[in-house]
Structure 1
Amino acid sequence: MNFHQFKNALFFFALTSFTVVNAQQKTIEIKGKVIETETKQTIEYATISIIDNVTKKPITGTITNEAGLFSIDVTSGNFYIEVSFLGFISKTFKDFKVEKNKIDLKTISLSEDLEALGEVLVRAQKSQTEFKLDKRVFNVGSDLSATGAGALEVLNNVPSVNVSIEGEVSLRGNSGVQILINGKPSVLASADGNALGTITADMIEKIEVITNPSAKYDAAGTSGIINIVIKKSEKKGLNGSVSLNVGVPNSNSFGLSLNRRTEKFNLFSQLGFGLRTYPGETESINEDFEEETTVQSFGDSEFDEKFSNFLLGTDYHINDRNVITLTGSYAYEVEDQSSQQDFTSIDGTNSVTDAWLRDEKTEATNPKLSYELQYKKDFKRHEDQSLLFSALGSSFRKDQSSYFENTTSIGSKSDAEQITRTDYKLADYTFKLDYVHPFLEKYTIETGSQYVINEVSNDFAVSDLDDDVWVSNPNLTNIFNFDQNVLGVYTTASYEGEKWGVKLGVRMEDTQIETLLETTNENHSKNYTDLFPSAHTSYKVNDDFSIQAGYSRRINRPNLRSLNPFSNIRNTFSISTGNPDLEPEYTNSYEITSIHKIGKASLNFSLYNRYTTDVIESVIVSFEEGVSTSRPENIGTSNTTGLEFNGKYNPLNWFSLSGEFNINFFDRNGIFESESFNFKGNRWSSSLTSKFKLPLDFDLEVSGDYQSEFESLQGRIYDNLYADLGLRKKILKGKVILNMSIRDVFASRVNQSETIQPDYYLYNSRKRGRFVTFGVSYGFGKGEAMEFSGQRRR
């Protein structure tokens, strides 16, 4: 055999061998579906491993898709199949049938491995808080992200932040906190519902708490900012919750929240409707020392509100670095209010001279519309380099009519009837551009601009019944227009090292305000430009102790209610008006904060000082024939120095304690109409919340609040003490939650104030009483049920 024949034979032998081997290794398709044993929900990202029977090593593998389905091809004929998922007991398949080169495992049920899950949580990275220049950052570790909890439960683990069992978020005891998503306003964080419940713990990277905002944020005063940062690698799937609530007095609502995530789209929607009732009890005393007369009133009121809202939005991920967000929402409210006030006039001998009943019936409709467009671009150069543009618009309208009737029972006063009509229109537009540019590893420059347009019109008319004819009252009828445009431009620069950092910034805001009282053709124009500097620094002493200091200049612009000179005639003996000449107040805010970690406790101490000029105060400007008239005025300066403490302590797995204490000392200086308003005083407040994890998956929450009495410009504000109680029961591993809450358990929350002057004395009191609410909520997808989803909050 020559070489040529040998080469042909070798080629033939190799070709034949390959054909035989290939014929023996036929391709087999393996498919199936993976679900949870108890809930029957599909499991996404479950691992399918094809393992060699001899070597016990993996041959190939795949994962399940969004629907829990998988399909994989294998050519080996000697293997077994293993199906596994973190926190679940794995299943192995060694006996299976091959039919037409296919293995169909059908539906595979996996049960939770509670012991393994517990080990994972124990070993997991713990969530922790650290200072970052102008904010505190709570990094969400796997101890929380692996629990399947929702955003509100994660927030409840953040120091200084408290979430009540009803889902109300407060920062350092103040519920007026602004919540942002990835640094921008979002309907997911709206207070009108609980779309925030569609965000689950495993989607959250960190939560930023800002108590003294830098120049990057609006200069208008705020009680604080909470920014929820979502991970860029969001898990795909369907999340949602549905809730039903009933209460006494009426606190009835139904809510549905849905969030669907795919590779390109994040779709979110919310539907809610309900009925709320707010009862009220009022008392007032107007005592005239010169005339020796007193007018007393006692009243009961009931405010009913029917509401509905719908929200729809989407995030479209153009690619890994570009995303567009479109959102729209619509709400419609119907209000009915009725009240009865008994008035009594008493002379100097303590004899009743007059008595009458003032009856009110008010109806109103409030349509609301909001919409937003946002575009965010991330850059390949640096993970923190970004460009964000947003355009937001909203409109609100109130069509209201009221009927008042005075019926005399004692004295010679004639019966009287009045009607009022209000046509209120509001439109807001906000355009914002932000750019973040990191460089040289530890340096960052942020710059941006914002333009806000506010357009408000209030058409208010009053008519009196005279000989069965309604006659317009020109002294109380007017159309007031308010237009405000604010242009803001800012720049900040920061250095952030491992131990120490500093951030400096300045914001320029140009404000234009136009007001017009059409009835008398009175118009006022204001235009002012201000600079708002800010400076922040932080130093990390060690892992358990850090300190932060900050300064910012703030502004409080008067709103339409403060500027509109119309009268409130609900109580004709206590009239309030606006002041179109009102100027904004300015505040220089200084703050030093420390954070301590001592074992299972997290403690924060803050020392602050706020110096405010042109302080806006409500002042009694006249008192004639028992009628007091008040309006806001700019009264001098206020210098406030305070100490705040808040902390959380988790001594046991089933018990946690959080509390706040705030005390401040103020020094007021001012002169109004030749009268000195110089005085000093102090006020303090505290709150304490205890949370218990009881057997059978019950959660109990007990909280108490106290606000001290303090001196005001012309009198004093009474103290206030009240308590809230909440009970929650989880079933089906947190997928269903039952709630019961009691607000103001002892009906002790009463707002009382008095004005003490040489010529007169005024007392006012208002009480709402106890609220009891029951609710059930069901959550589906990756998160647990969220409390009170879809409920409108006040």
Structure 2
Amino acid sequence: MIARLYLLIGLFLLSVTAVNAQQTKLLKGKVVEEGNQYPVAFATIMIGDNDTKQALTGATTAEDGSFNFEFTADNYYIEISFIGFEKKVITQPKTNDQVIDLGTIILAPDAQQLEEVVVQGEVSQTEFKLDRRVFNVGKDLSTTGASALEVLNNVPSVNVNIEGAVSLRGSTGVQMLINGKPSILASDEGNALGTITADMIERVEVITNPSAKYDAEGTSGIINIVLKKEERKGLNGSLSVNTGAPNNHSLGLSLNKRSEKFNLFSQLGAGYRELPNDVESINRDLTDNSSINSFGEEFRNETFYNFVLGADYYVDPTSVITLSGNVALEVEDQPSTTNFAAFDSNNILTSQWQRTEVTEATNPKFQYEFQYKKDFEDNEDHDLLFSALGNFFGKDQSSDFLDETISGEDRDNSQKTRTDFKESVFTFKLDYTKPFSEKWTMETGSQYVMNDVSNDYEVENLVNGEFVTDPGLTNIFEFDQKVLAFYGTGAYEGEKWGLKGGLRVENTDLNTLLTNTNEANDQNYTNFFPSAHTSYKFSERVSLQAGYSKRIYRPRLWDLNPFFNIRNNFNIRQGNPNLLPEFTDSYELTSIFFVGKTAMNFGVYYRKTTDVIERISFFENNVNTTRPENIGTNDATGVEFNTKYSPARWLTFNLDLNYNSFKREGTFEETVFDFSADQWSSKLNTKIKLPLDIDMEATGNYRSSYQTVQGQVAENIFMDLGVRKKLLKGRAVLNMSIRDVFASRVFENTIAQNDFEVYNRSQRGRFISFGFSYGFGKGEAMEFSGAKRF
């Protein structure tokens, strides 16, 4: 009996010892980067067995780099690791404490690993799809805190000018899409892409030769911004403040509230900006050698307000409804002063006078968007999308012009103009995509666009102390255009080879009317727009893509409207109600290949355009009037090269080169416009990562001179500079940018004909801006730049 008692006591003591040996311990600490002391989120903390070297348990660090978890190992070691950093191993602490506090653990960068990972992440971002190139800019760490406009400015072949206009391979005829559809965020009329941050973007798709799925408008292609699908539940937002010189001040607040069923988003912005422009022109009559010289400064000053409100409603896991709206108001002040000088045939000054302008305008803007998307469960790419986008723009403008004689011949005069402008555009679109397998896909859909415009324009001249309407420059212009389209495409995409073909049919019904003179121009035409694309992947390093599509350029409102601003009444721009559309057959062959870790894109293209629209000058009494006309054909053959090269992880170059040779043939009013010429352009973007989390960026642009049907456009070279500093662990961004650093961005063109010459020069000058943005919740710091000008 006593022996059994001793045995039980012994077993009890052994069990207590074992329990004590396996007692629960608490491990805690914080992981930061060497140098800047920034927290390392999602680093791995592993508890390993000292004998077997196998992992026993572990955890990852939180967003602030901290960790806190329990374990029960006895003979162990601790390993801390994260991609891009050297591993740190800590032997078992010599302590019997149940709480093990490792304090702050500093991880040093792994230079070799970073070279592999970061360069790969920044360089290997380009891939070919059947009819597009894909740039995964959302993974580029250097774009954090930037707006979508800044992101686009770093995409090869894409450029964003000082007014926010996006161009592709030097052409501004670009259609912007968000997630494959028109959107308020991509509209020319609203705050547009300034509200989208780089961290929201998954990729940018550049489609230089669109398939039949897309609108046949826009010969320079399509840019589609695909946003990330990640959910950020809770209240997120961003606040931004900007200032600059010339005066450019704005304040923006963006809020987002996401729950299981709803995603509410809104933005409120306001600001003031000035856009000066120095202009100069010389009109010379070669028949009598007389001339009119003018120079001056124009301003467009705006106070603007912008409000966006929208919501996503998730009907079920596969269906979502989106409804959003945008209300904006611009109050414009456009003062200008132009100095004139008249010279006779002996180049003797005969008169000097000054023309001043006082213009005020109020521009209300309204937009709405409704979208329904249905994802089918059999395939993630099987979906149905219906969208409706509405847009209204109005302009109530009045201008007073006063001519005052300085010397010589009396030039005193007064004029008034009045503009009542209204435009409504409605776009309805239905798209259906059905994958039959991993390799075969069908797309079909339709689109209906209605564009209704009324422009009531009046010019009054001071005659005998009273203002009298000038009937030759006064009228009401009505513009009504409806475009109905249907399309279908089929695609096969294998591991190495793919083929996609499609057909789009569009019917255009256009009606214009000058009501005062009852001049009407009605056009109704139906066109077929075929497309074909193929791609072949030779290896992981070499791919080839070829494509064909037929495109159309329909004359815009300002191409058709015969009345325009008379700010300089010796250089007048007019529209032409009788213009016909341009049609282009576009062929492309493009390749992507990797040399080491550097991706290079090289392509050749050919475009044949008929009924080319050119602005033609008509000269009389030293007054130059330009009006668009359909002038013959244009055959353009070009090559394009772009690459992104990182010789070091702190230095990246983006190079874009484009050259094209073109042949023009045409006749207008018995004048033959046949000639051959060429032009080329280049853009070099350099990004430098500096210590203290500072990024610097410099972009140089060059466009060569080129010949036009009546003259020549001069070369253009300029550079932009930007610096960005992250603050508050990346929550805030402080940035500075200088557009046109050397004030060299000058636009010059010369018209040289047998009986007259016209020289024009304009320069915006240097723009400097400073901005601060702060993200809260899970929002990202972003830029708000206000609504884009009309």
Contact 2:688 2:696 in 1 (8 A): yes
- Opposite residue 368 of structure 2, the aligned amino acid is Y
Matches of residues 224-239 of structure 1 in structure 2 within 5 Å?
224-232=221-229, 234-239=231-236
What is the aligned counterpart of 1:789 among 775, 784, 787? 784
What is the aligned counterpart of 1:286 among 283, 288, 293? 283
Gap runs ≥5 in structure 2:
1-28, 48-53, 73-77
How far off is 1:791 after superposition? 3.6
Change (3 A) 1:114 1:793: farther
How far off is 1:532 after superposition? 0.5
Match of 2:720 in 1: 724
Number of residue-to-residue matches in the alignment: 749
How far off is 1:325 after superposition? 0.8
- Opposite residue 324 of structure 1, the aligned amino acid is I
Match of 1:380 in 2: 377
Distance 1:498 1:480 in 2: 55
Match of 2:691 in 1: 695
1:223-261 deviation line (CA, Å, top 9, x unaligned)? 333333345553435443222111111121112223333
How far off is 1:187 after superposition? 3.2
- Opposite residue 604 of structure 2, the aligned amino acid is L
Contact 1:200 1:783 in 2 (8 A): no
1:270-320 deviation line (CA, Å, top 9, x unaligned)? 221111111111111111122331111111222211111111112222222
Match of 1:445 in 2: 442
Match of 1:631 in 2: 627
Change (3 A) 1:725 1:598: same
Contact 1:150 1:783 in 2 (8 A): no
Change (3 A) 1:331 1:49: farther
Match of 1:706 in 2: 702
CA RMSD in angstroms comes to: 4.3
Matches of residues 453-468 of structure 1 in structure 2 within 5 Å?
453-468=450-465
What is the aligned counterpart of 1:776 among 759, 772, 777? 772
Match of 2:652 in 1: 656
Is 2:365 the counterpart of 1:365? no
Match of 1:264 in 2: 261
**TM-score w.r.t. length of structure 1:** 0.84
Q: Which moved more, 1:317-326 or 1:534-543?
A: 317-326
Match of 1:667 in 2: 663
Match of 1:309 in 2: 306
Match of 2:613 in 1: 616
SS of the residue aligned with 2:692? Answer: helix
Is 2:300 the counterpart of 1:295? no
How far off is 1:630 after superposition? 2.0
Query: Alignment identity in percent?
Result: 55
**TM-score w.r.t. length of structure 2:** 0.84
Contact 2:162 2:739 in 1 (8 A): no
1:580-609 deviation line (CA, Å, top 9, x unaligned)? 111001000111111111123221111011
Distance 2:286 2:658 in 1: 38
- Opposite residue 514 of structure 1, the aligned amino acid is N
What is the aligned counterpart of 2:637 among 636, 641, 644? 641
Change (3 A) 1:718 1:598: same
Change (3 A) 1:200 1:572: closer
Contact 2:164 2:788 in 1 (8 A): no
Distance 2:453 2:372 in 1: 28
Is 2:386 the counterpart of 1:389? yes
Contact 1:150 1:784 in 2 (8 A): no
Gap runs ≥5 in structure 1:
1-33, 51-56, 77-81, 98-108
Distance 2:730 2:112 in 1: 17
Distance 2:224 2:240 in 1: 26
Matches of residues 193-208 of structure 1 in structure 2 within 5 Å?
193=191, 201=199, 205-208=202-205
How far off is 1:111 after superposition? 8.9
Distance 1:295 1:581 in 2: 31
Matches of residues 262-661 of structure 1 in structure 2 within 5 Å?
262-621=259-618, 623-661=619-657
SS of the residue aligned with 2:538? Answer: strand
Contact 2:609 2:634 in 1 (8 A): yes
- Opposite residue 502 of structure 1, the aligned amino acid is L
Match of 2:18 in 1: none
SS of the residue aligned with 2:471? Answer: coil
1:510-535 deviation line (CA, Å, top 9, x unaligned)? 00011110111111111000001111
How far off is 1:500 after superposition? 0.4
- Opposite residue 744 of structure 1, the aligned amino acid is D
Change (3 A) 1:47 1:327: farther
- Opposite residue 679 of structure 2, the aligned amino acid is R
- Opposite residue 304 of structure 2, the aligned amino acid is F
Change (3 A) 1:405 1:43: same
Change (3 A) 1:96 1:466: farther
Is 2:212 the counterpart of 1:215? yes
Change (3 A) 1:513 1:259: same
How far off is 1:625 after superposition? 1.5
Is 2:742 the counterpart of 1:746? yes
1:704-724 deviation line (CA, Å, top 9, x unaligned)? 111111111111111111111
